[in-house]
Chain A
């Protein structure tokens, strides 16, 4: 069963607008949440993270929101830029472990 789900395989936005990428998880034991960005033929690049004791973390144009009661995570990118076009993966870590469990990814396309 899929413990981490990204229900939108793709998202297209206009340059300058907000991009919102969503992620849902099922296991309440997850206590650390991350977003990775992946360009073709490259490995994933760490973007931003959030601990379960917080509900928001901001870094420049990127903000991650965590709603623990809904088991929902989102990444906001504003303003979106064409260079943000990539596949975005959410990932989670269990309290007792260290492995990352990834969602299926969302392909973001930012149109000039």
Chain B
């Protein structure tokens, strides 16, 4: 079946602009996660959605970052007033309740 998809695959934006990154999880997966990988770093947790529960936003680095998950499926990660340090690969993952998370290909964000 279809895996996790993300769009766009690459995004170049100017400092100060807002960006939206999209994630389509695997159908039926109730849990959805956002991570990011900065150059030379490991994967950093950002936010986690599980069903209708309030999301775990504890990994968001600043209030410029927000995420929504509509209808328990598609999720959008929004970064407002982008900064150069926001440049990274943003990865989305989904899972059934349990621990094996399946990742999308990521969105490479470059802030110039």
Contacts and interface: CB of A to CB of B under 8 A. Distances in A.
Interface of A: 4, 6, 32, 34, 36, 41-46, 49, 89, 91, 93, 97-105
Query: Interface residues of B: mostly helix, strand, loop or mixed?
Result: strand
B100 interface: yes
Contacts of B93: 43, 100
B59 to A, nearest CB: 7
Interface residues of B, number: 23
Interface of B: 4, 31, 33, 35, 41-45, 48, 50, 56, 59, 91, 93, 99-106
Contacts, number: 56
Contact of B106 (A4, A32, A43, A91): A43
Contact of B48 (A43, A49, A99, A101): A99
B56 A99 contact: yes
Contacts of A43: 4, 91, 93, 103-106
B99 A101 contact: no
Contact of B105 (A4, A42, A49, A104): A42
